[in-house]
Amino acid sequence: MASSKLTVPILLEWSDIESYMEQHDIVKVVRCKDCIYYDPPHIRDGDKRYEYSDMPKDAFDELGTGLVHVEYGINVGGRCCVDSGKGYSEDKRVFVSELNYCGRGYKKVSK
Protein backbone atom coordinates (compact mmCIF):
# COMPACT_ATOMS: atom_id res chain seq x y z
CA MET A 1 0.00 0.00 0.00
CA ALA A 2 1.38 3.39 -0.94
CA SER A 3 1.69 5.98 1.79
CA SER A 4 0.46 9.48 1.16
CA LYS A 5 2.42 12.42 2.46
CA LEU A 6 1.24 15.97 2.84
CA THR A 7 3.82 18.39 1.56
CA VAL A 8 3.65 21.87 3.01
CA PRO A 9 5.99 24.45 1.55
CA ILE A 10 7.88 26.92 3.70
CA LEU A 11 6.32 30.30 2.98
CA LEU A 12 8.21 33.34 4.15
CA GLU A 13 6.31 36.25 2.63
CA TRP A 14 2.66 37.11 3.35
CA SER A 15 1.94 37.33 -0.39
CA ASP A 16 3.21 33.74 -0.76
CA ILE A 17 0.88 32.60 2.03
CA GLU A 18 -2.16 34.35 0.50
CA SER A 19 -1.36 32.90 -2.92
CA TYR A 20 -1.01 29.40 -1.44
CA MET A 21 -4.33 29.80 0.41
CA GLU A 22 -6.15 30.83 -2.78
CA GLN A 23 -4.75 27.86 -4.72
CA HIS A 24 -5.56 25.29 -2.03
CA ASP A 25 -8.97 26.40 -0.65
CA ILE A 26 -7.56 27.38 2.73
CA VAL A 27 -9.25 30.07 4.83
CA LYS A 28 -7.94 32.14 7.72
CA VAL A 29 -9.42 31.20 11.09
CA VAL A 30 -10.03 33.44 14.07
CA ARG A 31 -10.23 32.42 17.74
CA CYS A 32 -13.59 33.37 19.21
CA LYS A 33 -12.01 35.47 21.97
CA ASP A 34 -10.29 37.59 19.28
CA CYS A 35 -13.32 37.88 16.96
CA ILE A 36 -15.52 40.94 16.46
CA TYR A 37 -18.62 38.71 16.66
CA TYR A 38 -17.78 37.17 20.05
CA ASP A 39 -19.95 38.28 22.97
CA PRO A 40 -18.09 37.22 26.15
CA PRO A 41 -19.79 35.64 29.18
CA HIS A 42 -21.68 38.14 31.32
CA ILE A 43 -24.60 38.54 33.76
CA ARG A 44 -27.94 39.86 32.56
CA ASP A 45 -30.36 41.52 35.00
CA GLY A 46 -33.33 42.77 33.02
CA ASP A 47 -31.93 45.32 30.56
CA LYS A 48 -28.69 45.71 32.50
CA ARG A 49 -25.50 43.88 31.64
CA TYR A 50 -22.68 43.21 34.11
CA GLU A 51 -19.25 41.69 33.68
CA TYR A 52 -18.20 38.94 36.07
CA SER A 53 -15.37 41.17 37.27
CA ASP A 54 -17.96 43.76 38.43
CA MET A 55 -19.68 41.31 40.79
CA PRO A 56 -19.02 41.32 44.55
CA LYS A 57 -17.39 38.19 46.02
CA ASP A 58 -20.59 37.10 47.77
CA ALA A 59 -22.45 37.04 44.42
CA PHE A 60 -20.68 33.83 43.36
CA ASP A 61 -21.91 30.38 44.35
CA GLU A 62 -20.17 28.45 47.12
CA LEU A 63 -19.30 25.50 44.86
CA GLY A 64 -16.66 27.44 42.95
CA THR A 65 -18.30 27.15 39.52
CA GLY A 66 -17.66 30.83 38.77
CA LEU A 67 -21.40 31.49 38.32
CA VAL A 68 -23.39 34.07 40.27
CA HIS A 69 -26.53 33.49 42.33
CA VAL A 70 -29.85 34.16 40.59
CA GLU A 71 -30.52 37.20 42.83
CA TYR A 72 -27.74 39.01 40.94
CA GLY A 73 -28.98 38.10 37.46
CA ILE A 74 -28.80 35.40 34.82
CA ASN A 75 -25.45 33.89 33.82
CA VAL A 76 -25.04 34.17 30.05
CA GLY A 77 -22.26 32.19 28.38
CA GLY A 78 -20.02 33.42 25.59
CA ARG A 79 -21.85 33.62 22.27
CA CYS A 80 -21.08 33.92 18.58
CA CYS A 81 -23.20 36.64 16.99
CA VAL A 82 -22.04 36.21 13.38
CA ASP A 83 -25.60 35.43 12.24
CA SER A 84 -27.39 38.02 14.40
CA GLY A 85 -29.46 40.56 12.54
CA LYS A 86 -29.45 38.67 9.24
CA GLY A 87 -33.23 38.45 8.93
CA TYR A 88 -33.79 35.19 10.84
CA SER A 89 -37.01 34.98 12.80
CA GLU A 90 -35.31 33.23 15.73
CA ASP A 91 -32.18 34.11 17.68
CA LYS A 92 -29.17 32.66 15.83
CA ARG A 93 -26.54 33.41 18.48
CA VAL A 94 -24.67 30.22 19.37
CA PHE A 95 -22.98 29.53 22.71
CA VAL A 96 -19.27 28.95 22.19
CA SER A 97 -16.07 28.74 24.18
CA GLU A 98 -13.62 31.61 23.80
CA LEU A 99 -11.08 29.01 22.61
CA ASN A 100 -13.20 27.87 19.64
CA TYR A 101 -12.40 29.17 16.17
CA CYS A 102 -13.91 29.42 12.70
CA GLY A 103 -13.33 30.98 9.30
CA ARG A 104 -16.42 33.22 9.26
CA GLY A 105 -15.36 35.92 11.69
CA TYR A 106 -12.86 38.75 11.66
CA LYS A 107 -10.15 39.61 14.14
CA LYS A 108 -10.72 42.65 16.38
CA VAL A 109 -8.55 45.61 15.48
CA SER A 110 -6.34 46.77 18.36
CA LYS A 111 -6.57 50.46 19.18
- Model pLDDT for residues 43-96, shown as the tens digit of each residue: 999 899 999 999 999 999 888 888 999 999 999 989 898 877 666 666 667 888
pLDDT at residue 105 in the model: 86
The model's pTM: 0.65
Question: In this model, does residue 2 exceed pLDDT 60?
Answer: no
Give CA angle at 49 (81, 103), nearest 5°: 20
pLDDT at residue 72 in the model: 92
pLDDT at residue 44 in the model: 92
CA dihedral of 93, 98, 35, 57, whole degrees rounded to 10: 90
Neighbours of 51 (CB within 10 A): 10
